[in-house]
Amino acid sequence: MLKHSLTFILLISISTLFSQNNTNYWQQYANYDMDIDFDDTNYQYEGDQKLVYSNNSPDTLTRVFYHMYFNAFQPGSEMDVRSRTIQDPDSRVGDRISKLSESEIGFMRATSLTQDGVALDYELAGTVLEVELHKPILPGGSSTFTMKFEGQVPKQIRRSGRNNAEGVELSMTQWYPKMAEYDFEGWHADPYIGREFHGVWADFDVKITIDKDFILGGSGYVQNPNEVGYGYEAEGVDVKRKGKKLTWHFIAPDVHDFAWAADKDYIHDTVTGNDGTTLHFLYKDNTDIKENWKNLQSKTVELLDYFNEHIGPYPYDQYSVIQGGDGGMEYAMCTLITGERKFGSLVGVTAHEMAHAWFQHILATDEAQHEWMDEGFTSYISGLAMNEVMDQNRENPTAGNYRGYVSLANSGYEQPQTTHADRYAYNRAYGTSAYSKGAVFLGQLGYLIGKGNLQEVLNRYFDEWKFKHPTPNDFIRVAEKETGAELSWYLNDWTRTTNTVDYAITDVNTAQGTTNITLERIGLMPMPLEVKVDYKGGTSETFYIPLRIMRWEKPTAGTVVEDWAWAYPTYNLEVPSTRYGIEKIEIDPSGFMADVNRENNVLILEE
């Protein structure tokens, strides 16, 4: 199950009553038991769900909410209308939902719901089921909800669905009634409009009864491998295929989602990682892609090693890479990716989605409010991993993210990263803010505190906040505690405003053997500066100007000079040399400061 079984037992027994340096921290917990009967002739299914919900909050709950995601795939849904009215729609969605027939739409609805045996009143509002409780759930209390529900798998459009472009029959994500998260901010009953997810930490026990010819993979551990023929048959044991259907039994401990995929033509391979993790690969029996998928397996072992070292130890016993979906999307203990790709792209999408196993499915940030913490951190670390695993030898593996961010910052379309993921005016603005600007947040933090310190921060962040729901402040406090630097200004300016970094060299003059370099802060966002001076004859010197509000100096950054307070728009840097001995002056020669106009960062002095 979990590699560290004692840790797992403690997590289950006291679930969310523990905290890290905050005695007020709490989080909810749930136990799902689900039995699903699937009809692949019409892609409909019926389910029985028993959900034991533990209220670890200090609040009395009088209602709950369930996500009913498949209802997004109906003409007139919020996802449909938003896609048809936003100026730059996701091409995978476009106006496709509006054209779905009754047999192609998705739906999910409860047919009965009880709390501790008493029938409840509920109302379906799009993709959210609103439920009034018969009896309040008191702090420290729990209730058992039983629901009968039915669903129809939509034609593949976004993430979930049937018969995707590569012929995978079932990509079953966001497929079950899922309890909404309740935390210190209250309920997170967000409608499914297009972005990603937030969920309650839970244990899942799932039985899926489906045509016996399907091969399944997904979250959790198969409990009856010999019965379903999942590649674990003991020698001489016959696979029991009774009747037309088989029941696959999965258990997924301490996760906040459950996903699966199924196809009658999957090849299933397993490889054991160096840490003992079983890596599963499920992909179509397609001669055009088999070689790439075989070669992917050793690279996935290398990626697992990289993330274990540079984030923290992967705690589960398995991870699955599954062909399906509409691109790449992470889920608990697995990912669904499209598989008809060139090899480099196949490794790249696996690297990104696999990194999400740490930054979203172990460190479970709210992706509706803090999507950049997941997508950005994942983009940053997967770029570094690809640089090593694929021998790319790039000096700055995050350089592409810097270019993307600078383009957005100069476009006039940027919104603060505190914007709710569904409230961005443009899809491009959302994507660049979440992925590129989020990655630059870490790359630039490395510039602020040093790459070695950044690595220590990431390891400590994982160790302190795994199996919780960290917020941006939780991360920056880890960075402050690890380094001693004051960094709240960095979090504020970078994520809560659209202030930019822009420094310039505006004047150079020499008097009495000293060269005076005038620097100007043009952008509103401050930074400590590294200024490199190249002298004639081939020598150079780097001067480090600390930022006063940071109250800290980066080790080995160069010759430390007087600090710079934010309110002063200019700074005079005195260099003990004549002007005629200097060839070039450059602000931020490393390029890890996200200056939005680097043309004024360099001055080459004339003869």
* β partners of residue 11: none
d(CA 596, CA 603): 17
Q: Is 356 annotated as a binding residue?
A: yes
Give the up-direction half-sphere exposure of residue 346: CA atoms within 13 A in the CB hemisphere. Answer: 23
Backbone angles phi, psi at 308, to 5 degrees: -60, -40
Strand arrangement of the beta sheet that strand 142-152 belongs to: 118-119, 107-115, 142-152, 44-54, 29-39, 201-211, 245-255, 221-222
582: three-class secondary structure by DSSP = strand
Q: Amino acid identity, residue 276?
A: G
In terms of DSSP bridges, do strands 121-125 and 118-119 run parallel, antiparallel, or are they unpaired?
unpaired
d(CA 85, CA 71): 19
Catalytic residue among 353, 414, 480, 530: 353
Count helices and strands in the chain by DSSP H and E runs:
12, 31
The answer to whether 240 touches 267, Cβ cutoff 8 Å, is no
Q: Is 302 annotated as a binding residue?
A: no
Residue 459: name the closest of 381, 396, 394, 517 by CA: 381
Q: Amino acid identity, residue 41?
A: T
Backbone angles phi, psi at 567, to 5 degrees: -70, -20
- DSSP class of residue 284 equals E
* β partners of residue 142: 54
Burial 341-362 (b: 16+ CB within 10 A, else e): beeeebbbbbbbbbbbbbbbbb
Helix (H) or strand (E) holding 6: helix 5-14
Residue 155: name the closest of 143, 174, 140, 171 by CA: 171
Length of the chain equals: 607
- Output the CA–CA distances (angstroms, integers) from residue 141 to 32, 137, 258, in the order listed: 17, 6, 25
d(CA 234, CA 415): 57
The answer to whether 413 touches 429, Cβ cutoff 8 Å, is yes
- Output the CA–CA distances (angstroms, integers) from residue 478 to 14, 166, 457, 474, 604, in the order listed: 23, 43, 7, 6, 40
d(CA 522, CA 544): 19
Catalytic residue among 435, 503, 544, 571: 435
DSSP string, 174-240: S-S-EEPEEETTEEE----SSS-----EEEEEEEEEEETT-EEEESSEES-HHHHT-S-PPTTPPP-
Does the active-site annotation cover 122?
no
Residues ≥6 apart with Cβ < 8 Å to 453: 446, 482, 483
Q: Is 4 annotated as a binding residue?
A: no
DSSP string, 489-551: HHHHHHHHS---B-EEEEEEEEETTEEEEEEEE-SSS---EEEEEEETTS-EEEEEE-BGGG-
- DSSP class of residue 107 equals E
Does the active-site annotation cover 388?
no
Output the known binding site for Zn(2+).
352, 356, 375
Query: Looking at the annotation, which residues are catalytic?
Result: 353, 435
